[in-house]
Amino acid sequence: MLPVESINDLFLYKAPDSPTSRIYTIRPYLPNDLLQVYDVCFKNYDKHINLEAQEILVGDKFIGGFLTLSPEYCFVVEDDIRLCGYALAVLDAKKFFDQLSVSWIPELLRKYPMKTLDQTQPKEKNVQQFIDEMHRYYQNPLFADPESIHKNYPSLLSLSVMTNIMDLSVPKRMLTCVIAALKANGNTIVEVSHS
């Protein structure tokens, strides 16, 4: 949970340990970035279940709601080769979870039904296990954070960068962009989620 008013510490940067000529560009998320953002999410996903080549499934579960319901608070970072990180936020987390429950989650559960893949194939068994876990998670009415958190920390943030980013100031700068956007729209405190 971060207080938006005291982001000054984010502007203190240590010089990189090794010089680099790589340039990073932080910019607002665009709809045509979807697959690359999902790829970053997939590559940083804690792979307790092997989900080879399932970027869309993993992205849909963890960050698809942010990108669909709150794209105006989503930022990406790219180097000279490709997109290599994202910072996604929602201004009103309670409203966001309500919208997820009404629109995003039902569509997601229809898109990925339970028990439809061939369980004899190891790869498909892993995918089905992930889908089944997703169904159980979203069908639990407590998947959203408690009301007390929304009252004290009205915004929500998810940030992820690839491990090949050598400049440690890049995530800080991305976080600064998102927090500035939230602050410009009246928020002063944000809850950070880890997916």
Structural domains of the chain ordered from first start: 2-192 (3.40.630.30)
**pLDDT tens track for 27-75:** 999 999 999 999 999 888 876 666 666 888 889 999 999 999 999 999 9
User: Three-state secondary structure along 105-128?
Assistant: HHHHHHHCCCCCCCCCCHHHHHHH
d(CA 193, CA 156): 7
Radius of gyration over every alpha carbon of the chain, rounded to an integer in angstroms: 18
pTM: 0.82
**pLDDT tens track for 7-19:** 555 556 566 667 7
